[in-house]
Amino acid sequence: MRRTIGSCRHYVLLAVFVFAVNIALMFPVSSTASAADADTEQYAREIAVMVNEARAANGLPPMYISPYLMSVAKLRANESVILIDDKHHRPDGTKWSTAIDRNIAPYIYAAENLAAVGTTPAAVMTQWQTSPRHWAAILSTSPTHMGVGVVYDPESRYKWYWILDMIQYSGEGGVMEGQYLPQKYDIVPKSCGDINGDGVVDTFDYVNLTTYLEKKAAGEPVSYNDLQLEAADCLKDGQVTVADAKALQRYLLGEYTALPYEF
């Protein structure tokens, strides 16, 4: 049925001219049952958004996401599982910056932040914010483009590996192929009940909500953003529970004429 809607343990840090490298290391955090299923791509997007929010708060222009740099950062995160040192060497002994093909991404400045700590983007950003070198790299006036990579490897020493690669792109026109500004929300609901953001309230939203509640009850990872949580709160009581799913079901059956349902 479909109803249409109107409406470190320690820090190891190094900074050099042109290349800046920063590492934040702590004791490995204990993994959770949901860690293996974490949406690392969503985590990477959240880091990018928070980086630009920090830059905006300090009067700096945003950095563009480059699909190519995203692939580089993912590669570097995977390499960090194998090797982390104070100079950000790659497993083959070369500098981290050799992961960037300068024929694809010519640059005049490059910096890398690495964290092997925390299980959420917010925790990683807090670590970087409390490290002067990390934060200086994020708030530098030089970089124009960035890529973020996140890897979870439960068998490795630190388990979580977070990479933020930033460059000042020097290619012709200053525009990298496919560049875009990261958005905070991938899904934007149009009204109460429109949980998947497709502009209608239907059985897909009901199944989405019941699946969310089942996973949450089982301790499995859930990934609703703030707007989805607001849309799922069909009773507007400040929480998302089975009662909201029942309200959504009754709306779809025609028992309720509007959402949110008001007693």
pLDDT in tens, the chain (263 residues): 555 444 332 333 223 334 567 777 544 333 343 455 568 988 999 999 999 999 999 999 999 999 999 999 999 999 999 999 989 999 999 999 999 999 999 999 999 999 997 789 999 999 999 999 999 999 999 999 999 999 999 999 999 999 999 999 999 999 999 999 988 777 889 999 999 999 999 999 999 999 999 988 988 767 788 889 999 999 999 999 999 999 999 999 999 999 999 87
Backbone angles phi, psi at 227, to 5 degrees: -70, -35
What lies within 8 Å, CB to CB, of 217 at 6+ separation is: none
Rounded distance between C-alpha atoms, residue 214 and residue 202, angstroms: 19
CB 73 within 8 A of CB 97: no
CB 112 within 8 A of CB 20: yes
Q: Which of 151, 145, 141 is nearest to 178 (CA)?
A: 145
Rounded distance between C-alpha atoms, residue 33 and residue 123, angstroms: 18
Q: Which of 244, 195, 203, 243 is nearest to 222 (CA)?
A: 195
Q: How much is the pLDDT for 224?
A: 83
Angle at 35 between CA 185 and CA 75, to 5 degrees: 75
Q: How much is the pLDDT for 207?
A: 95
